[in-house]
Structure 1
C-alpha cells in the first residue's frame, strides 16, 4: 500500500519536506490557510484550510485516507498537528494533554520550578491588575525580581509581544503592551538574562534525548530600548563543550516529567561563564529557517528524520549512529535581516550578496513594490545560509554581509536594520 502523508504547512520551508516525501514514493497532501504557499506547487494534493480548523482537517484526513501527519518549525503548527492527529486517529509523538508543557510558557516554567531546573525568575500578572490595580499592588506582584525584566505573552511565539522593562516605573506600560498580544488573562514578567544565547535541537528516541545540534543564537539591538532581534545563528556553537552535557541533562529531566518518549524536542537557553545555564523556552518541534544548517554542517537531514519517524523508524538509529556534533563537515550560519515597515523599492545590494560564493541558499522574502508587514507571512526581509571551512572565515564572510546589506524604499531610506556581531569573552582555538 502506498503511504499518503499530510504535511501541515505550505510556506517555503516545507518545500524540501514535500520533495523528500515524493522521492520516497509517498503521496503528498499539504494544507494550511496560505492559498499561495509555494510548497503547494510540489504536492500531489493541496487544501486551503486554516491550520486551527482542527475538525475540518481531521475530516479531510479521513476522507483522503491519510496515514501519517507531520509538521515542524512553529509552535502553532505543532499544536494543531497534535490535535488533528488525535481527532483523525493518526500516530503522533505528543498527545493533546501534553501540549501545555510545550506551548504554555507558564506551564513550562512551573515544571522547571518543580524539578529544580534553572530558569530566570518570573511572575505571572493578571491583565486586570495591570488595568485596575494600584502602582503598589503591581510592584508587589513582581517583588524580588531583578531588573532588567521582560514582559511576554503566555501563548505566543516568534518574539511577539515581548518588551524590555528597565525601571519599575515602566512595568505597567510595558506589561499592558504585552497584554495586547494575548488572549490570556495573565502575562509573564521574567528576569532578562544578558548571557550568551543558544538554540538546541534534539530528537527523543526510546525516552532518550539525542542531540542534533547546538548553535550560538546571536541578536542585535536595532534601536535603543528595542528588544534585540535575531540576526545570526552559528553552527556549531563555540561553547559546545561547555554547555552540551548540562543542557542535555535538563531536557532529559524535563521529558521524564512530561512523558515524551519520542519526537522532536528543542530548547533555547542562556549560559555565561561562572553562571551556568538558564532555560528560556522548550518546544516540541524544530526551529524554522534553521534546520537546514544541520544538513549543511553535519550532513544530517531533518526532513529525512521527520519522514523516517512516520514510516521507517528503524533508520533513525542509524542516522544518530553516524552523527557526531563534535566533528562538523563545514562551519555554517544563517544570517537574518530584519526591517522597518516601509515599502521595498531597491534590493540590488541584497541580490548581489546572494551571488557570494559562500552562500548555499539565499532567501529574499519581498518583491519590489511590496510593504514590509510586521508578523506577516514573511518573517524577515532576507536570510542567507552561508558555509565556510572554518570559523574565522565564517566571521569574515558575516562581516561582509552585515556591512554591505542594503534595501531601500522609494525615497531612498534604508529599510534593513544594521546587524552586528556580538563580542565574545572567550574565543575557541580549535577551528584554526
Structure 2
C-alpha cells in the first residue's frame, strides 16, 4: 500500500483526505491540533506545526512517503514546495515560482513585469521609509504574507496611513507590506486547472465580503460575469501560466472587474478554503477536489467538459462582527435546498471575523435570477442566537 502525507488537518482538508482514502492509500495527517477532523480518520497522525518547514522536512525524510499533498492555506503549500523540489515530489512548482505566486510583493513585481492588469502597487520592506509618490488615494495597505483579509486596511488619505501600516506589519510574519491603489468593482474568482501549460477546464465565481470587508463570506456559481470579461481573464491567466512555466494543477485567482475592465488581485496554487470546491461540485457535477489532488499523485487532469452542468448554487460562511457564544441559528433563505456544515459546538464562543466561522451553508436556488438576487444578502437571512438571548430574554 502506498503512503501519502496530507499536510493539513482542518475541515477544509477533509474532502482531500477522503479522496486519498478512496484511492486505497495509507493516509497520514500532519497538523498541530489533535481535535481537527482529519486526525479522527487518519491512518497515522503527526501533531506538528507544518509552517515549520524544517520540522516537516524531517518528518518526510524519516517516513519516506510516496506522495505529499498540501491543503488549503499558504503555509501548507509553501512548506511542501520548499522540500518537494529537493526530494522530487510531484505536483509542485519550483520554490522560487511558488514564492512569487504566494507572496504579495513578489506577485506585484511579476504583474508589472508581464503587463498583467492589476492595481498599481508599492512594496515596502521593514524599516524602509514609506513611499506613496505618484499613487492615488484611497489605498489598500496589506501584509505581504497574510490571508483571509487579515491586517488589510483601506486608507483615504495620508493621516490614516501610519496606523494602517502598523496593523499590516503586526499581521505579517515578515513585517513587510504592500500598498495598492484601491480599484472599484465586483470581486470574483477564477479556478483554472492546467495540463501541459494549457487551461483544460476553468470556473468563474462571484464573491462578496459582507461581514468583514476583505474576507469572502458569500459566493455563487455560475457567475454573472460577461463572456467578454471571462475570456479576457482566461487569456491573461493562460499567458501567465506559460510565462511562469507552471506545473500541472490548480491556479486560483481573485480579481476585481466592472463592465469594461478587470484587475488581478492575487493568485494561489493551493486549494481555496471554506469548502470552495464543494460550491463548484454542487453546481457543475465536476469533482473539483479530485482535479486538485491528481498532480500530487502523478495523475493527469482530463475532465470531460461535456458533462458539466450549471445548477445555481450559493455558498455562505457564517461569521460575526462581534464575538459571541453562539448557541443556535436559523435562516430564511428562499432556496430549493440548504445544506449546512457546522463548525462549532452549540454554546462555543465565536470570535469576530476574519478569525472564526460558525458554519458553512450551500443553497440550491430554483433559478439563476434568485441566486444573483439572494447570494449577496445571505448574511442578512441567517439569524444567530446566544444562550443569553434564549434563556434571559424570555
| TM-score normalised over the length of structure 1 | 0.82
Query: Which residue does the alignment assign to 1:424?
Result: none
Query: Which residue does the alignment assign to 1:247?
Result: 233
CA distance in 2, matches of 1:125, 1:308: 37
CA distance in 2, matches of 1:355, 1:148: 37
Q: C-alpha offsets along residues 154-176 of structure 1, whole Å, 9 cap, x if unaligned?
A: 11122110001012221122222
Query: Which residue does the alignment assign to 2:194?
Result: 204
Query: Which residue does the alignment assign to 2:382?
Result: 405
- Structure 1: any 5+ residue segments left out of the alignment? 131-137, 414-432
Shift in alpha-carbon separation, 1:395–1:267, aligned structure 2, 3 A:
closer
Verify the 8 A CA contact 2:335 2:366 in the aligned structure 1.
Answer: no
1:10 aligns with 2:9: yes
Deviates further, 187-196 or 304-313: 304-313
CA distance in 1, matches of 2:52, 2:134: 42
Verify the 8 A CA contact 1:354 1:362 in the aligned structure 2.
Answer: no
Q: C-alpha offsets along residues 392-412 of structure 1, whole Å, 9 cap, x if unaligned?
A: 233566488544412234444
CA distance in 2, matches of 1:267, 1:399: 20
1:295 aligns with 2:281: yes
Q: Secondary structure at the match of 1:293?
A: helix
What is the root-mean-square deviation in Å for CA atoms of aligned residues? Answer: 2.6
Shift in alpha-carbon separation, 1:35–1:88, aligned structure 2, 3 A:
farther
Query: Which residue does the alignment assign to 2:114?
Result: 115
Shift in alpha-carbon separation, 1:397–1:112, aligned structure 2, 3 A:
closer
CA distance in 1, matches of 2:326, 2:195: 48
Shift in alpha-carbon separation, 1:93–1:186, aligned structure 2, 3 A:
closer
Query: Which residue does the alignment assign to 2:263?
Result: 278
CA distance in 2, matches of 1:42, 1:245: 42
Q: 1:385 aligns with which of 362, 381, 384?
A: 362
Shift of 1:365: 2.3
Query: Which residue does the alignment assign to 2:30?
Result: 31
Verify the 8 A CA contact 1:235 1:333 in the aligned structure 2.
Answer: yes
Q: 1:217 aligns with which of 207, 210, 221?
A: 207
Q: C-alpha offsets along residues 185-207 of structure 1, whole Å, 9 cap, x if unaligned?
A: 53111111120111111111101
Q: 1:367 aligns with which of 345, 350, 372?
A: 345
Verify the 8 A CA contact 1:232 1:333 in the aligned structure 2.
Answer: yes
Shift of 1:256: 2.3
Verify the 8 A CA contact 1:343 1:410 in the aligned structure 2.
Answer: no
Q: How does 1:145-224 map to 2 (within 5 A)?
A: 145-220=135-210, 222=211
1:236 aligns with 2:231: no
Verify the 8 A CA contact 2:324 2:351 in the aligned structure 1.
Answer: no
CA distance in 1, matches of 2:364, 2:91: 34
Q: Secondary structure at the match of 2:206?
A: strand
Shift in alpha-carbon separation, 1:238–1:54, aligned structure 2, 3 A:
same
Higher relative contact order (CA 8 A, sep 6+): 2
Q: C-alpha offsets along residues 335-391 of structure 1, whole Å, 9 cap, x if unaligned?
A: 1222134231431426xx6997511x3123222332223578x74222211223421
CA distance in 2, matches of 1:243, 1:32: 39
Query: Which residue does the alignment assign to 1:418?
Result: none
